[in-house]
Chains A and B, each alone.
Chain A
Amino acid sequence: MKKIKVNKGLLFFLFLFLFLLVGRVYVYDLNQGIVISESEEAGGPEIIYGKPVKGVLFSHKFHVKELGLPCESCHSGIFEMAALSSQEKKDFNMQALYQGKYCGACHDGKTAFASNTKCASCHIGVKGMMPYLKKLSQSQDK
């Protein structure tokens, strides 16, 4: 049975190498986050953060198109107008939100639901990232 292990291992790496070489389907590092561009009226892309934890959704479509928020609500000092830039900041965590930074500026229980409630609304998780990943690879194929 040991013989089989070696064969399968070699075969696996061979195929992995070929796969990566050809590069069409690649192993995506979910930690880097996902950005899906939307139409003009959405007001911006769908952003899924990958750091510090994977699978946190911010939907421009929901906040701009559905809720009708103007760009200045967030892009006047709270967030940079550069997708995924926040996740590079060292203080991008729940504690910061509870202190009123980032999403916590509105999600404080008064303007919008408090950041320490309804976790899975924004934390769509690894599972939640999968459909967006599919959309990303589809749009890249175009």
Chain B
Amino acid sequence: MFKEIKKFLLNQPDEGVDKVPEETRREFLKIGLIITGVFAGGSIFSVVSKVAEGLATPEELHKSYPYKPHYSMVFKMDKCIDCERCVEACRATNNVPEYGWRTKILEIYDEKALDQKRIFMPILCNHCNNPPCVRACPTRATIKDPQTGIVKMVSYKCIGCKTCMVACPYNARYFNEEKRAIDKCDFCWETRLSKGEKLTACAAACPAGVRIFGDLSNPASEVYQIVHQLGKPVWTLKPETGAKPNVFYTMG
């Protein structure tokens, strides 16, 4: 059979590249560009790497991340006192069951530290700009919303394979038995933002001003201002994974 295929291939007349009409060539290239453009758009400009190399202007940012508003959160980590009002507010607002969590406070404790031996670090879904979970989901049950940049769940499509749980570098996802689907933080889109609220439940509940929630594309928002300054260090968790998180950490 291979001999036949080989004969067939060798017997093809050589048309010559110049015989392919200009139109066909352009159309062909366009298809390729369209496909790569969709993915390249998320990875050519990186919010985090731009902060390191040089800050992006709102226009540049908008070109690669056409989200309006581009929801982001900044944590002022040193102010967190683990009162866990944010966790309780999130649980109450979003019906998070006891066995799961959408946001959590981690405790960093080192006996050998000088002075203060303990500091708290809140975590939640980072709504990455290059989300490994969205890439890995077989049924597109999790998507990055083209309007707001929030990584959302489309629960009825979830088959519960838990690939997204394994893919997420931040342990942000869990399987919700009542919904029969994976659940995670959606920046309170369903319960608050889509209904006109400006803040997530956790950001509203924090008594210490730890959670700054806002629009990264708006120069007037505190989120933009904190991220776009060089004076105090601003970092993301696990940047080496290439996920380009939208949640930033700072002190003071």
- Measured CB to CB, the residues of A under 8 A from B are 1, 5, 52-56, 118-121, 123-128
Contact = CB atoms under 8 A, between A and B. Distances in A.
B79 interface: yes
B100 to A, nearest CB: 16
A56 B82 CA distance: 10
B116 interface: yes
A116 to B, nearest CB: 9
A127 B85 CA distance: 13
Interface residues of B, number: 20
A125 B116 contact: no
Given A118-B115, A125-B120, A127-B105, 17 more contacts: A53-B81, A55-B81, A56-B81, A119-B78, A119-B79, A120-B81, A120-B118, A120-B119, A121-B117, A123-B81, A123-B82, A125-B81, A125-B82, A125-B84, A126-B82, A126-B105, A128-B118
* Interface of B (DSSP majority class): loop
Interface of B: 78-85, 105, 107, 115-120, 178, 180, 207-208
B207 A52 contact: yes
A126 B116 contact: no
Contacts of A127: 82, 105, 107
B105 A119 contact: no
